[in-house]
Amino acid sequence: MFNFTTIIANIPALLIGFAFHEYAHAWVADRLGDPTPRSQGRLTMNPFVHLDIFGTLMAVLYSFGWAKPVQTQPHYFKGNKERGRILVSIAGPLSNLVVAFLAMFLWIITLAFLGDSSWSNTISQLFRAVVVLNLGLGVFNMLPIPPLDGFSILRGVVPRKYSNVLNTLETYGMFILVIILFTNFLGAFLRPVVSGLYAFYRDTAIFLLSPFIG
């Protein structure tokens, strides 16, 4: 059963998460010398440029999803090309994990100042959506399944002799992804991971802020 209030709170959280995720990919690729993201208008924090319809729907409903991939051309990358692929791929999920922690940090500070304000519940719903959805985006996109970022990272570290296996996996990647999305895998694996990170972020933020907002 979907909670309408949660879905509404997920929308701004989703826009924030996708904007940071795709901008991070584009920014790292641009810094490595690839002009492609900039020429295609992807070097922007405008989330609407990055939206993928199906990935957006999944994110709004389930807090796990993806945006339209930033296209890169690794032959432009300075230095080691495979290292460049990995850096570009990991930048997106890492940005979501950072955003989630910053949102948790700001959430605790905001509630400390609001006290028992009537706005506390609404503020908490919005902040919680940003934290959970960004954690979901970060963890989900690290799965080694094409077309997710985790697969690009896997391709960058696996020896070339296994490239045929990876190419085959890439061919059926979307099929595998759809099966995973509509089975209990999300609940059995991803949600416990996100819950664990959520608790870790909360406890860490409280520990760091306790001298100031006790």
Give the whole-angstrom CA distance, residue 18 versus residue 31. Answer: 20
Number of H helices, E strands in the chain: 10, 0
What single string gives the DSSP state of each residue in 165-183?
A: HHHHHHHTHHHHHHHHHTS
Q: Give the single-character DSSP code of 188.
A: I
Do 66 and 178 form a contact (C-beta atoms < 8 A)?
no
> Which residue among 22, 30, 34, 149 is the active-site one?
22
Cα separations in angstroms, 119 against 19, 123, 139: 26, 6, 30
82 in catalytic set: no
* Catalytic residue IDs: 22
